Amino acid sequence: MLKINNLHARVEDKEILKGINLEINAGEVHAIMGPNGSGKSTLAAVIAGKEEFEVTEGSVELDGENLEDDAPEERAHKGIFLSFQYPVEIPGVSVTNFMKTAINESRKAKGLEDMPANQMLKLIREKAELLEIDRKFLSRSLNEGFSGGEKKRNEIFQMAMLEPKLAILDETDSGLDIDALRIVANGVNKLKSKDNAVLVITHYQRLLDYIVPDFVHVLHNGKIVKSGGKELALELEEKGYDWLKQETVA
């Protein structure tokens, strides 16, 4: 599904990604871990096509198609979802209305008509029920006064509604409490299927107590320095990141 080949990217004059190789297949959950500043969020942003980063070498392919010329919205329409690290507040626009607009925008990009209102309502109800989101939440103003957990709930709801091929969740927010982690994890576990894939980016091992990844990759200084199964996350928890730095130097 996603294939990253020798990806190098920079911001301003600084090279941040220094040759990333990563392949994610449908049905898989991958976790990227690594110390602060290792380039995790940059990798997420480059996959999503954010323009402040310049790709200097290598490629990102989705289903065999090079994404280099696609703007972030086009990538989103092709099925790449990136969670918002700093969600905007939109007073007067409800969670539901925001979602309706997003869905219809995405349909328009595919040449489809707006989703009929009754179908939209059914979809919203279905997904809200799956994620145990109550009605009251759906009518609240987007992100206005949302707690950390509510922001996560909104994000997961968006992911559920948009049904992306590849969901990238960048969980760098150090304010995440255990409830918020559980909301993210439950959402991911309920939404994953044999047809989609999830890339969870986290600094914290504890998120992976709830989301069990098929593969774990450690990013350090712009490179994946180690990949393994879920046990790698436990090893990192135990030993920290220092042993990897030594290995890379050696």
Ligand X SMILES: Nc1ncnc2c1ncn2[C@@H]1O[C@H](COP(=O)(O)OP(=O)(O)O)[C@@H](O)[C@H]1O
- Between residue 137 and residue 176, which ones bind ligand X under the rule CB under 6 A? 172
- State the binding partner of 37 from ligand X, Mg ion, none, CB within 5 to 8 A by kind: ligand X
Distance in angstroms (rounded) separating the CA atoms of residues 233 and 174: 18
Partner whose footprint covers residue 242, from Mg ion, ligand X, none (CB < 5 to 8 Å by kind): none
85 lines the binding site for Mg ion (CB under 5 A): no
- Interface residue with ligand X among 6, 23, 25, 36 (CB under 6 A) is 36
- Taking each helix axis from N to C terminus, what angle separates 178-191 and 148-162, rounded to the nearest 10 degrees? 10
Binding status of residue 172 toward Mg ion by CB under 5 A: yes
| Three-state DSSP class for residue 246 | helix
Does residue 34 belong to the site contacting ligand X (CB under 6 A)? yes
- Closer residue to Mg ion in complex, CB, 40/151: 40
221 interacts with Mg ion by CB under 5 A: no
By CB under 6 A, is residue 213 in contact with ligand X? no
Q: Is 159 exposed, middle or buried (0-12, 13-18, 19+ CB in 10 A)?
A: buried
Q: How far is 154 from 4, CA to CA, in rounded Å?
A: 29
Residue 41 interacts with Mg ion (CB under 5 A): yes or no? yes
Closest CA to 212 of 198, 226, 222: 198
202 binds ligand X (CB under 6 A): no
Among 2, 7, 16, 142, indicate the residue that binds ligand X (CB under 6 A): 16
Residue 207 has φ and ψ, to the nearest 5°, of -60, -35
Cα 222 off chain centre by: 18
Three-class HEC string of 31-67: EEECCCCCCHHHHHHHHHCCCCCEEEEEEEEECCEEC
When asked if residue 39 is in the footprint of ligand X (CB under 6 A), the reply is yes
Closest to 197 in 3D by CA, of 161, 163, 234, 157: 163
Among 51, 52, 69, 242, interactor with ligand X by CB under 6 A: 52
CB nearer to ligand X: pick between 137 and 204: 204
Residue 97 or residue 172: which is nearer to Mg ion going by CB?
Answer: 172
Give contact residues for ligand X (rule: CB under 6 A): 11-12, 14, 16, 34, 36-42, 52, 172
